[in-house]
Structure 1
Amino acid sequence: MKNFKNLLFVAMFFITATVLGQTKITGTIVDGTNQPLPGASVLEKGTQNGVSADFDGKFSLTAKSPSGTLVISFIGFKSKQVTFSAANSNLGSIKLDEDNSLDEIVLVSNSFAIDRKTPVAVSTIRAEEIEFKLGTQEFPEILKSTPGVYATKQGGGYGDGRINLRGFNSENVAVMINGVPVNDMENGRVFWSNWAGLGDVTSAMQVQRGLGASKVAVPSIGGTINIMTKTSDVDEGGNVTYDVANDGFNKFGFMYSTGLMDNGVAVTAMAATVSGDGYVDGTSFTGFNYFLNVTKEFNDEHKLSLTAFGAKQQHGQRQNRQRISTFRESERGRKYNSDWGYKDGQETNSEDNFYHKPQISLNHYWNLSDRTFISTAAYVSFGSGGGGGWSGVNKFGINDQNYRNGQFGTINFDKIVDENIANGTSGSETILRASRNDHNWYGILSTLKSDLNENLTFLTGLDYRGYTGIHFTEVTDLLGGQYFADDSNVNNPTNLAQVGDKILYDNDGLVDWLGGFAQLEYSVNDISAFVSVNVSNTMYQRVDRFLYLDSDPLQTSDKYNFVGYGAKGGLNYNIDQSHSVFGNIGYFERAPFFNAVFSNRNNVDVNGDAPNQKITSFELGYKFRTEKFTANFNAYRTLWNDRSESLGFQQQDGTLGFANILGVNAIHQGLELETTFRASDKLKFTGMASLGDWRWANNLENVQIFDENNQVIETVNLFIKDLKVGDAAQTTFALGVNYDVLPETTFTIDYNYAADLFADYDPSDRGSVGPNTWEVPAFHLFDTALRHKFDFAGFDASIIARVNNVFDTTYISDAQDGTGSNAATAAVYYGFGRTFSVGAKIKF
């Protein structure tokens, strides 16, 4: 009831406002094959009055004059001017022609692929669809109906979602925001909780499977997720949003744009607060999302754009998977979480997460001449936060009834507090701590594009990134004790730590990256092709303030450099207006991750000769376009060779040596299909099928490891040939229906099927012949949403209602293989049951 009153309050706040419109102009914007162009810009010429087309390409604009001209534009298409009048207010279908000189900012800065030109497998999702379907889902889940994608909520904490692409996890999937790579510089991972507010500010998101269109060297083995945030809108105005959902979810947001002012400046700002109890027990959360873009057009040659955004959040986690039997026997079922309890009546987590990672970028766009364009982006990011846990005596075991409120119950923190108090001057036996992973990251990306002639374009650029990862553990709660004794720091071995003091470790990971690329693009008539090469040097260095005295020169390690390089090329041929084919091929070598070099977490035992990982990729595709039906079909094969694998051994002089084990290889291949059928102006069907065959390629048998005297010290066996790659569904299907029930009311239902999902495991542990990993049962899910647009006291308003997992299906979304590779020993997360959300939006 409280949430409903809040919604009414927001509505009543605007009920007194009025606007005067003179002519309401409507129409639909389409491409050459009559496919809609969602997000296309519609601007009343000579004013700042404009709107964007919705997901079906439709727009409605209240003009300031009874007659005039509309300027219609869209990325990758030539702008068109269309006259209107009060007598001719329904403009019908407006067709835009492709512009082979795609908007420089997007092409050069953001590496967006162009349909029927860029020879890669790609799916694009616009802001309208994200707003319609996202709701309380994790941001990566908006892509779950995309070929090759498997996305889940993992443990179910706010922002804890994950995504796999063609069977590769986030370490091997490049994520770029406005053309800037955001994969962790040390381990390649993407933590979506750092970007929990992206759904509010994304204008378009592209999934480029395989090699992708990015020019800089990024870890795109599985593909690239390219996210473009909103810029300063051409139209003045804004909106207020309010969302409520299951389990106490509340979200309030505000956005305003000045439009392009007479002085050439445009500003867009957004802010939103979010909170809730969480579907999973013990996962309450709070967050604040913000976005700011300031753009200044100096003249036809120079443009500056400053963008800053972030999402400060804190949430409880379900960090530990459990056996299926545990979920079934617990009173809470799939909501069960072993990682929380109460302390003095307050919800307290043994595992939680908190982080704030603002990203600030300054982009300069320079039209050097009619043929040459330079785009430069300088950016910084300051991350602060980490994940909670415990230290000392383990009193958090799920079967330890001394510290549980009943079988599979919550943690009895009060008992732990009483025991620590009783210890008196002996200090706390058990405490809560946070593993901090702060960082300072800065970089610059500069790209030059020059048209050598009508058909040939040359691009080149530099990519520099500097990164310092600051890793330490700090005490967050002594749980009633006076201190926590820790002897980990050689500079302070008698540390009696208080809240905020560092324990266990304190070290920095330093990464410097310098890369360059060159690309040649050829386009004539119906043929477009490219060839691209890149090279990069990655430098790693480690600083450890706990293992080495401040006076010890070993406190800072030597620098270790790794050179990576790559080459790729592709060709697209438009056979006619309906048919086109494409192909691409590429090879690149990627530097090992930081932990493969400093695998023993010290500055002496270093694997400075860790080998590059080697990736080869092939792809063929076919595209079909008609007025009613489109289809994209592609076949791919990716070879991932020399996965980082090493063995440490003691040398005769007592030091640690490393043997790098080559030949741990994987094959990822498959078929993908994506379709759209527009049965009528009101009814649209979408479909997807993805059939993957992802497996380890070969065994390693009797691989002998030699010491410095050429003596055999160990023999390595790995029996992994034809074992299925785990952690992502290899077979997925999707079917969607969009139906305009009324002119302003749209209903959608999406069906998703996932199968051939094998439990995750470490192939390094397969030292003997054994069964394949456990296969998770296949599952079917249905989601639905209803959007209604209406006039509210002269304002454009809308309400969106969503229900996910409509039939409350019970299913396992994530699994870790156990002993014997069977269901009884596997550790799992269950997916969410039925959830709902309702959101209101008022534009002004």
Structure 2
Amino acid sequence: MKKLTKNVLCILLTSVPKTLRKTFSTTAFLLFFVSIAFAQEDSARISELNEVVVKSTRANEKTGMAFTNVYKRDIKKQNLGQDLPFLLNQLPSVVVSSDAGAGVGYTGIRIRGSDPTRINVTLNGVPYNDSESQGTFWVNMPDFASSVQSIQVQRGVGTSTNGAGAFGASLNISTLGYEREAFGETNFTYGSFNTMKANIMASTGLLNNHFVVDARLSKLSSDGYIDRASSDLKSFYVSAGYYNKSNFVRLNVFSGKEVTYQAWEGVPERLLKSNRTFNPYTYPNQVDNYQQDNYQLISSFKLSEKWTFNPTLHYTRGKGYYEQFREMDELANYKLPVSAIGGDTITHSDLVRRKWLDNHFYGITYSFDYQSNKKLSANIGGAWNKYDGDHYGEVIWTKFALTPSNDYRWYESRSIKTDFNIFAKAFYQVTDKFNLFGDVQYRTVSYDMNGIADKLQDITRQTSFQFVNPKLGLNYQLSNQASFYASYAVGNKEPNRTDFIDNVKVPKPEHLEDLEAGYRWANQTLSFDANFYYMNYRNQLVLTGQVNGVGEAIRVNVPKSYRAGIELVANWKFASQWRLNANATFSQNKIRNFSETIVNYDGDADRVNQFAKTDISFSPNVIAGGQLSYSPLKNLEFAWLPKYVGKQYMDNTSDENRKLNAFFVNDLRANYTINPKIVKEITFSLLANNILNHLYEANGYTYSYIYGQQVVTENFYYPQAGTNFLLAVRVKL
């Protein structure tokens, strides 16, 4: 078995690009010598060390905050090829969407109505949100869920963490588990829209009680539900670690390469009934082509009986482009010269352009963990991270004009963002039943932009922000089964790059005060949680409903707004073979005063409409989901996964003509495992999505303008697939 695993690992490593293999080998060599200094023979605590690194940024029952833990065993049941947001679809307050309509390619997640720029994502404590847009592009990490050991979803401001400020939720992802025994595994999925996933995974297991090497190589592809919304995705993950009794050092190298045909323009409202899969793009290479390589050197050292030090070094390299065909675009927009053909002056031309991103992100995260006795524990941590990114646009072909050179650039800019934070947390057990939690973070952000953006506007500016984010929580044990908790947390957040570029008025930083209170009750067969939240915003950047030229949402500050709601979660094992997990969120999401500006193309003044107490866009008042599972046999499970999402407005006017209708979608899942003699196990999985073939749209955008003395409103939608399936087989050696 160990020989087979070794051979599989060799195949995987030879599939990794040569430059990455060289980096991996060099760092692993250094890792070996560093680890010798800490070598001990006792392996009793090895299984506990992995969680130490992410412990400082995770919540627990004593923090007084709402969170959900998702573990590897649950992820594996659902992980048949769809992006990670779709694996979290049944969690409280979650709404997911897919540009291509089938969960592969560009996908998004909202929690409590907050868009991805408000959801802080960390991988092993390392910030993953894009530094400029502050969103998370899951398409850059295809099949990453196959390497995930656990995910904690914190709702609200949550605990202090690294990276972009959390204004709706945090996703804390850990890949730091390991198997004690060597194994090899392969997964293959085929489904609707020619969706395919194939991967191979292997591990050495724990060698000599100290060393472990894990690896994964993945390939995914899909035609998409929307016309031509195809995805061609590749990724790998390699991790090498050294463990001893109280310390470990681990190197993670992982990469994702994606070529995705663009589907971000959406389907016009007038075509929803007649042509739901419409895609206006027909140019063969209208794609997003991007590669992202990630390196993490993670370690934990026990300094004394009371102190542990957890430093992590990281580096991310990203480069790629959007390629777009433009029909009869104005040459002046690209600083191209006007030409004459046959006596005609040529001011417009068909052309093909590429918008490039070329960036580096690197830094250090760390935490000192202190445990004095059963009453007091504390964490002191923080991070220093720097982003250095180039943006430039190339015109690679024109029909009627000549570009000055083959690599002609019509715009070029550079952005440098430095993010520093330090935080301290403490848990104190006041009595046997009562404990307090305190957390304060100081964060500074500096943003330096220089150059010209794609619309030829000068974006040169230097901006800096300083934030203090305190948090306080308490937990009271009412009985052996019941507890009450409450917390108050403050969050502050800087605008992103497009907020500066897309708005004439300089955007302001956002401020949030989050009050949470809840009740938990559990016994051996039933658990119930009720969480109340009130999130009060100042200068929240809300979605206008419009998008810019690359499909990113345009936002504007509103002085006062809030989100208030209650989240209900229940888990009930009401028979030996039956289990029910259910959740529901009931909320109100309001802007106290909102000004809508409608652009007037007739040359008159723009129209400004005033609204009082309107709904925040993309914030449904009701979200419900869950899972009903039945296991007639030990290795056989069937599950029904319903999801209801109430209506959502696409802008902030609460206009019934600019909304996403409520939808109720039902999925079915089946998993069956056998244990033949030739291999350790074989698992067959079936995921049937939207079994009732409900036609619905999970995302969209809208904009209005005045033309010919009339207000014209145009709505665009992202339809999701009707009934579709994924069938998978997993073989573990």
TM-score w.r.t. the length of structure 1 is 0.72
Quote the Cα distance in structure 1 between the aligned partners of 2:138 and 2:248: 31
Q: Which of 616, 622, 631 is the matching residue for 1:731? A: 622
Contact 1:255 / 1:269 at 8 angstroms: preserved in 2?
Answer: yes
Contact 1:371 / 1:451 at 8 angstroms: preserved in 2?
Answer: yes
CA deviation vs aligned residue, 1:534-555 (integer Å, no higher than 9, x gap): 11211111232789x9xxxx99
- Aligned-pair CA distance for 1:335: 2.0
Q: Which of 319, 324, 331 is the matching residue for 1:389? A: 324
Cα distance change of structure 1 residues 496 and 391 upon mapping to structure 2, 3 Å threshold? farther
Contact 1:564 / 1:612 at 8 angstroms: preserved in 2?
Answer: no
Q: Which letter maps to 1:673? A: L
- DSSP 3-state at the match of 1:200: helix
Instruction: Check if 1:252 corresponds to 2:198.
Output: yes
Structure 2 counterpart of 1:130: 75
Cα distance change of structure 1 residues 635 and 546 upon mapping to structure 2, 3 Å threshold? closer
Instruction: Check if 1:282 corresponds to 2:245.
Output: no
Contact 2:142 / 2:234 at 8 angstroms: preserved in 1?
Answer: no
Cα distance change of structure 1 residues 230 and 246 upon mapping to structure 2, 3 Å threshold? farther
Q: Which of 95, 99, 104 is the matching residue for 2:52? A: 104
- Aligned-pair CA distance for 1:277: 2.1
Higher share of residues assigned strand: 2
- Aligned-pair CA distance for 1:667: 0.8
Quote the Cα distance in structure 1 between the aligned partners of 2:470 and 2:657: 35
CA deviation vs aligned residue, 1:566-599 (integer Å, no higher than 9, x gap): 1011112222221111111012332333344566
Quote the Cα distance in structure 2 between the aligned partners of 1:334 and 1:282: 13
Q: Which of 563, 576, 585 is the matching residue for 2:479? A: 576
Instruction: Check if 1:180 corresponds to 2:122.
Output: no
- Aligned-pair CA distance for 1:719: 2.1
- Aligned-pair CA distance for 1:449: 1.5
CA deviation vs aligned residue, 1:120-160 (integer Å, no higher than 9, x gap): 11112222222212434332122222111111113438421
Q: Which letter maps to 2:490? A: Y
- Aligned-pair CA distance for 1:497: 4.0
Instruction: Check if 1:377 corresponds to 2:312.
Output: yes
Cα distance change of structure 1 residues 698 and 365 upon mapping to structure 2, 3 Å threshold? same
Contact 1:634 / 1:671 at 8 angstroms: preserved in 2?
Answer: yes
Quote the Cα distance in structure 2 between the aligned partners of 1:276 and 1:599: 33
Quote the Cα distance in structure 2 between the aligned partners of 1:285 and 1:423: 45
- Aligned-pair CA distance for 1:727: 2.0
Instruction: Check if 1:781 corresponds to 2:665.
Output: yes
Structure 2 counterpart of 1:322: 267
- DSSP 3-state at the match of 2:353: strand
Structure 1 counterpart of 2:720: 831
Q: Which of 269, 276, 282 is the matching residue for 1:340? A: 282
Structure 1 counterpart of 2:99: 154
Quote the Cα distance in structure 2 between the aligned partners of 1:725 and 1:222: 13
Quote the Cα distance in structure 1 between the aligned partners of 2:502 and 2:594: 24
Contact 1:150 / 1:729 at 8 angstroms: preserved in 2?
Answer: no
Quote the Cα distance in structure 1 between the aligned partners of 2:408 and 2:537: 40
- Aligned-pair CA distance for 1:453: 4.0
Residues 475-494 of structure 1: matches in 2 within 5 Å? 475=395, 478=397, 481=399, 485=402
Q: Which letter maps to 1:353? A: D
Q: Which of 584, 591, 611 is the matching residue for 1:689? A: 584
Instruction: Check if 1:530 corresponds to 2:437.
Output: yes
- DSSP 3-state at the match of 1:328: coil
Structure 2 counterpart of 1:797: 682
Cα distance change of structure 1 residues 836 and 667 upon mapping to structure 2, 3 Å threshold? same
Quote the Cα distance in structure 2 between the aligned partners of 1:731 and 1:620: 19
The alignment's C-alpha RMSD in Å is 3.7
- DSSP 3-state at the match of 2:593: coil
Instruction: Check if 1:587 corresponds to 2:471.
Output: no
Quote the Cα distance in structure 1 between the aligned partners of 2:262 and 2:327: 20
Structure 1 counterpart of 2:217: 271
Cα distance change of structure 1 residues 213 and 563 upon mapping to structure 2, 3 Å threshold? closer
CA deviation vs aligned residue, 1:141-196 (integer Å, no higher than 9, x gap): 22222111111113438421111111110111111111112112122111221122
Q: Which letter maps to 1:315? A: T
Contact 2:140 / 2:291 at 8 angstroms: preserved in 1?
Answer: yes
Structure 1 counterpart of 2:695: 810
Q: Which letter maps to 2:216? A: M
- Aligned-pair CA distance for 1:314: 0.6
Does 1 or 2 have the higher relative contact order (CA < 8 Å, sep 6+)?
2
CA deviation vs aligned residue, 1:56-93 (integer Å, no higher than 9, x gap): xxxxxxxxxxxxxx9999869xxxxxxxxxxxxxxxxx
CA deviation vs aligned residue, 1:22-52 (integer Å, no higher than 9, x gap): xxxxxxxxxxxxxxxxxxxxxxxxxxxxxxx
Residues 430-829 of structure 1: matches in 2 within 5 Å? 430-475=350-395, 478=397, 481=399, 485=402, 495-498=403-406, 501-523=407-429, 525-544=432-451, 559-597=462-500, 611-643=508-540, 664-699=559-594, 719-758=610-649, 760-761=650-651, 771=655, 774-795=658-679, 796-819=681-704, 825-829=714-718
Which structure would you say has the larger Rg?
A: 1
Q: Which letter maps to 1:283? A: A
Q: Which letter maps to 2:629? A: N
Contact 1:236 / 1:258 at 8 angstroms: preserved in 2?
Answer: yes
CA deviation vs aligned residue, 1:601-652 (integer Å, no higher than 9, x gap): 9xxxx95xx643111100101111011111111010101111359xxxxxxx
Quote the Cα distance in structure 2 between the aligned partners of 1:275 and 1:310: 16
- Aligned-pair CA distance for 1:440: 0.4
- Aligned-pair CA distance for 1:675: 0.9
Quote the Cα distance in structure 2 between the aligned partners of 1:421 and 1:701: 45
CA deviation vs aligned residue, 1:83-119 (integer Å, no higher than 9, x gap): xxxxxxxxxxxxxxxxxxx9523413xx2333x3332
Quote the Cα distance in structure 1 between the aligned partners of 2:271 and 2:130: 34
Structure 2 counterpart of 1:141: 86
Structure 2 counterpart of 1:82: none
Cα distance change of structure 1 residues 571 and 206 upon mapping to structure 2, 3 Å threshold? same
Quote the Cα distance in structure 1 between the aligned partners of 2:561 and 2:159: 23
Quote the Cα distance in structure 2 between the aligned partners of 1:144 and 1:739: 20
CA deviation vs aligned residue, 1:191-226 (integer Å, no higher than 9, x gap): 221122222211111211012234446421111111
Structure 1 counterpart of 2:30: none
Structure 2 counterpart of 1:17: none
Quote the Cα distance in structure 2 between the aligned partners of 1:301 and 1:635: 40
Contact 1:215 / 1:532 at 8 angstroms: preserved in 2?
Answer: no
Contact 2:267 / 2:278 at 8 angstroms: preserved in 1?
Answer: no
- Aligned-pair CA distance for 1:234: 2.1
Contact 2:100 / 2:229 at 8 angstroms: preserved in 1?
Answer: no
Quote the Cα distance in structure 2 between the aligned partners of 1:423 and 1:132: 67
- Aligned-pair CA distance for 1:791: 2.0
Contact 2:101 / 2:719 at 8 angstroms: preserved in 1?
Answer: no
Instruction: Check if 1:200 corresponds to 2:146.
Output: yes
Please say which of residues 255-264 and 621-630 is displaced more in the overlay.
Answer: 255-264
Quote the Cα distance in structure 2 between the aligned partners of 1:383 and 1:689: 38
Quote the Cα distance in structure 1 between the aligned partners of 2:718 and 2:460: 40
- DSSP 3-state at the match of 1:146: coil
Quote the Cα distance in structure 2 between the aligned partners of 1:546 and 1:754: 38
Equivalent pairs, count: 659
CA deviation vs aligned residue, 1:631-684 (integer Å, no higher than 9, x gap): 111010101111359xxxxxxxxxxxxxxx986221111111111110122111
Structure 1 counterpart of 2:39: none
- Aligned-pair CA distance for 1:685: 1.0
Structure 2 counterpart of 1:89: none
Cα distance change of structure 1 residues 729 and 155 upon mapping to structure 2, 3 Å threshold? farther
Contact 1:334 / 1:830 at 8 angstroms: preserved in 2?
Answer: yes
